[in-house]
Amino acid sequence: MADGSPRSDSSTDGDTEDKNARFDIVPSSGLAASDSSDRSKEKTGDQKTLRRLAQNREAARKSRLRKKAYVQQLETSRLKLTQLEQELQRARQQGIFISSSGDQPHSMSGNGALAFDIEYARWLEEHNRQINELRAAVNSHAGDNELRSIVDGVMAHYDDIFRLKGIAAKADVFHMLSGMWKTPAERCFLWLGGFRSSELLKLLVSQLEPLTEQQLVDICNLQQSSQQAEDALSQGMEALQQSLAETLASGSLGPAGSSGNVANYMGQMAMAMGKLGTLEGFLRQADNLRQQTLQQMHRILTTRQSARALLAINDYFSRLRALSSLWLARPRE
């Protein structure tokens, strides 16, 4: 029994070590596979996280660039506005500005075009405010008295722009005739510094239905008379251009520096200047036609029809201005 006891202990210890060895080997293989799988998942997750972080950084970078460009654009616009205001202030100090209040027309010279552009921007801002008020009154079915008051205000505001144009034409008739104070799309349809009354009436007929038979007759007569007046003014303008070209091309300059050369040149310029003086008259007649057309249209229509007509006119020119903005912002290759 004494001899067997140690052997029993040794056998027991050996079996225990073998078991422990087998126990240690099996789970270590499972842990290694599990660790490899976890590292693979962690690696994949890290790559996704890195991609998301990179995308977020790129989006943030683009956002900062857009914000910076927008701020720079605002600053540029602010500087331009400040410059325009300073130039207008200098023009006013020199007594060459357009007054939007009062009936006394002020003289304008070199800065007449700039002064009118600024006054027109203010006129357009006030016009948009009045149109928004008119649209709200129409949509809310306001009473006739309230609607009539707003319509009369819009009509009076149109009279202001014709008055301003008349003053500005005395300073720079070419600027007014070219329509450089309007957007490019508006200039595409320009006629003698403004819109064609006959074309505007065609637009309104389809927008104002239903009209009474008498209203249709009156509007058709107004459209025909406007068309005839426009044709007469267009023919007069073409004759003036032809006469002006013939005046500038006529005569021989003769030997350089001779007295006859100078006299001939000065005579040509004097005749050309005299003919250019009639341009202001053409512009004034065209604006008078536009103003009278609006007034007669207002007399033919009811108050609510007049309100709808003014809204339709505004929407038409607003679309032209929007078209100009889209055209200027189009992508260029």
Cα–Cα distance, 165 to 173 (Å, whole number):
9
Per-residue pLDDT tens for 262-305? 778 888 888 999 999 899 999 999 999 999 999 999 999 999 99
Is the pLDDT score of 110 beyond 70? no
Residue 252, CA distances (Å) to 197, 231, 242, 248 in order: 44, 35, 19, 11
Residues 6+ apart with CB under 8 A from 327: 184, 185
Residue 157, CA distances (Å) to 34, 153, 325 in order: 83, 6, 25
Number of residues assigned to the chain:
333
**Under DSSP, is residue 108 helix (H, G, I), strand (E, B) or coil?**
coil
**Under DSSP, is residue 193 helix (H, G, I), strand (E, B) or coil?**
coil
Bridge-partner residues for 281, per DSSP? none
Residues 6+ apart with CB under 8 A from 248: 268, 272
Is the pLDDT score of 12 beyond 70? no
Residues 6+ apart with CB under 8 A from 151: 134, 298, 303, 306, 307, 310
4 or 322: whose pLDDT is higher?
A: 322
pTM: 0.66
Query: For residue 208, what pLDDT is reported?
Result: 87
Q: Kindly indicate the confidence band of residue 184, based on its pLDDT and cuts at 50, 70 and 90.
A: very high
